[in-house]
Structure 1
């Protein structure tokens, strides 16, 4: 029996680093086991904000088609050194932006709708129309952000009548950074219109959280399936845990995601808990916003900070597995309730307790509770957070700080791929 061919349209693909690339890198790894042949379409010259060459070793033996893309970031770099950080999502606070940076955000938000990859839509649709006809491909999957990928799907749906599955790793118009893009009323309306077109013309929608599903159900009657991110089997081996009482955050920690409550708790414990200062270490692994560093300094924690910076995925996994506690921080906003970061699932199989801080009603909280992998706190849970870290420190001193996860299997990448296959080949 011939394998069913499925075209996957994505912007992020190795050597791109960061969480955006992991989801479809892993799906393409397991799809062939279910008699599906994935064909990946991605840019040949993308201006990736984060690069991780080690991920090239994980690319499975599948067909990969590449076409050039025109992006504005190289031109923007002539005017501002912060253009690359803006492309990563590290948008400065209003009072920190100079005139050129404010202008860049205005241009980005109002002239590049839905995003800075919009110029790739028409040439990609032309190229793929011919390719799909030549190779008898009748199913496509688009994954965003960037949501320009969904506009390629929209054009192919209109032209060829293919089966189209649109995968949303994040929401569209409700995402938090839209507020920082200085959108005009007309630009907001255009985003909403494009979002509605995609949601209503796709044959199937995939989202990564229940909250996003609920949001989209108010806009469309198109079927929506939640398929979260997940974990894969890792070959990285760590022989022993850190000797220090390490709290580690893996991934970008941007300035809007500044957990003042955590810094206050840690300062309190350093100053008042016997033995804590001698053993405590804070690891920040990944991009860190300037305001975060300043807050840590304000709370007299600089001497305990190990600011590692961005490292390869394998090195990040080592930090996860050897740390005493793992930190998961999300912005305290209604807009971020639906965000379930991919690193949560890697945290869960690292067998280290998770301390998560985020908004009330966050989807993350229910997953952590359901899997017994840690505790979730709101930004005003000072005393509960303090007591929990204190208890973990006591367990660390006694040599029995551990976690007892349950029900993780359904979040394995292979099991999640099975859910995807059921959408590609509905019975």
Structure 2
């Protein structure tokens, strides 16, 4: 059995969407003759979900390197250090974690007798640690996995601080892409963008989408619990372009036209979202009695909230680059067997998933009237007791986390065997 060093700065008990992909890979790699060895950071606090540790197989070696945390720091230095971490450090707030733990990482590679190294971002500092190890151990193949774009990330393009650092980060990004042995993204359009920036990736890359884990759904109850209310649920984060503005504008128009009764409406917001953000929407759109905020919930409880709904809301945001990615939760949405209202770029990868799986309605974020129309139609169907939903389950099953782990394990084996062949020559 080969040993793979999995470098993932974000890992349980840290909570949130960023840990899901790596956690599921670690859960299933042994099924395909790969022994995972995890290198992560000591969890300093912040978003926590201890239930995710249940996915980690017994005996998996986990090395938690010292955290040099600038975001979750407590005390009087919290705000200045958070500003430094998120605005000034390059490429991100985990720069010190990468920089000061390099020797420890080298020791782990030697002691664990690692056959290949896998790094995943965000944060991009994980790839810088992989780059360092590749230079120290050139014979060990290194696989890079990008869950989000780096310099072409649309959310980063909105930041003046990122724009200032763009040239420097472009150089770092190219060092990573040109030196890795294999390259992975989670969407085809994202991969296309990376290849455009670095054509050398064309011969050593693939996309492996995010997905859902059937085990996460086994104990869930397939029941709506809104009673006399039409329940729309949103789970996840809200930041930057990813907001509820277009949804709220379309909803308010549907209410004003008499297509939706506000006293029959319940909007549930689940995730690590500031209460003041939810309250501002309630105030602005006259929905104080219709919006409920649940905060961050353990992963399986969040999934149950999907089953409790009549409609699930998906938002991506608009603007340059938004068509290139989808949020990880889209795959749990499509598995939850509820109609999805997807306010996403109509020519983007998120829309493609909804179309292929026949799991909802897609409306472009620029089309507020379209949002109003679809919401009105869904409400009318619900009120008449005939809300329609006919998913394509054969397409949905393609996004199984176990199948994706099998694809990753094949990559690991191929690069390891190719490296061994080179060493024999």
Aligned-partner SS, 2:109: helix
C-alpha contact (below 8 Å) 1:351/1:402 kept by paired residues: no
1:67 & 1:288 partners in 2: Cα distance?
28
After superposition, the Cα gap between the structure-2 partners of 1:236 and 1:271, relative to the gap in structure 1 and judged at 3 Å, is farther
Q: Return closer, same or farther for 1:322/1:192 CA change in 2, 3 Å cut-off.
A: same
For 1:212, the equivalent position in structure 2 comes to 190
* Counterpart position of 2:413: 425
- Tell me the secondary structure at the aligned position of residue 144 of structure 2: strand
Partner of 1:230: 211
Task: Note the alpha carbon deviations across 1:260-289, whole angstroms, 9 max, x for none.
Answer: 332122223333336633321111111335
Once residues 278 and 183 of structure 1 are traced to their aligned partners in structure 2, the CA distance between those partners, rounded to angstroms, is 44
Contact 1:255 1:288 in 2 (8 A): no
Superposition deviation, residue 423 in structure 1: 0.9
- 1:73-107 superposed Cα distances (whole Å, 9 cap, x missing partner): 35575256xx5xxxxxxxxxxxxxxxx7xx96466
Go from structure 1 to structure 2 and tell me whether the alpha carbon gap of 1:300 and 1:135 turns closer, same or farther (over 3 Å shift): closer
Cross-structure match for 1:6:
4
Determine if the alignment matches structure 1 residue 380 to structure 2 residue 366: yes
Is the contact between residue 254 and residue 373 of structure 2 (CA under 8 Å) also seen in structure 1?
Answer: no
Cα drift, residue 237 of structure 1: 2.0
Give unpaired runs (5+ residues) of structure 1.
84-99
Counterparts of 1:236 and 1:276, CA distance in 2 = 33
Aligned match for 1:257, one of 215, 236, 242: 242
* Equivalence for 2:28: 30
- Distance of 1:53 and 1:185 partners within structure 2: 36
5+ residue gaps, structure 2:
418-425
Q: Could you tell me which of 149, 159, 166 is aligned with 2:126?
A: 149
- 2:422 corresponds to which residue? none
* 8 Å CA contact 1:258, 1:292 repeated in 2: no
Instruction: Describe the SS at the equivalent of 2:350.
Output: helix
Q: Pick closer, same or farther for the CA change 1:302–1:70 going to 2, 3 Å.
A: same
Q: Distance in 2 between matches of 1:320 and 1:392?
A: 16
**Range moving further from structure 2, 114-123 or 148-157:** 114-123
Indicate the residue corresponding to 2:179 in structure 1: 201
> How do residues 326-341 of structure 1 correspond to structure 2 at under 5 angstroms?
326-341=312-327
> 1:293 Cα shift?
3.6
Give the TM-score of the pair, scaled to structure 2: 0.88
1:47-196 equivalent positions in 2, closer than 5 A: 47-61=44-58, 62-73=60-71, 78=76, 83=79, 105=83, 108-110=86-88, 112-161=89-138, 162-179=140-157, 181-183=159-161, 187-196=165-174
Distance 1:69 1:298, change over 3 A: closer
For residues 326-351 of structure 1, give each alpha carbon's deviation from its aligned partner in whole angstroms, at most 9, with x where no partner exists: 00111212132222111100000100
SS at match of 2:296: coil
Match of 1:408 in 2: 396
Tell me the distance in 1 between the aligned counterparts of 2:190 and 2:122: 14
Instruction: Quote the residue 2:385 is aligned against.
Output: 399
Report if the CA contact (8 A) 1:409-1:415 is conserved: no
Tell me the residue number matched to 1:294: 280
Q: Is the 8 A contact 2:155 2:240 kept in 1?
A: no
How far residue 388 of structure 1 moved from its aligned partner, in angstroms, is 1.9
- Residue 320 of structure 1 deviates from its aligned partner by 0.6
Summarize the Cα distance change of 1:187–1:258 in structure 2 as closer, same or farther, 3 Å threshold.
closer
2:238 pairs with 1:285? no
Q: Would you say how many aligned residue pairs link Structure 1 and Structure 2? A: 403
Work out the CA distance in 2 between the residues paired with 1:73 and 1:395: 45
Give distance in 2, aligned partners of 1:135 and 1:148.
22
Q: Provide the rounded CA distance (Å) in 1 between the counterparts of 2:278 and 2:18.
A: 23
- RMSD over aligned Cα atoms: 2.3
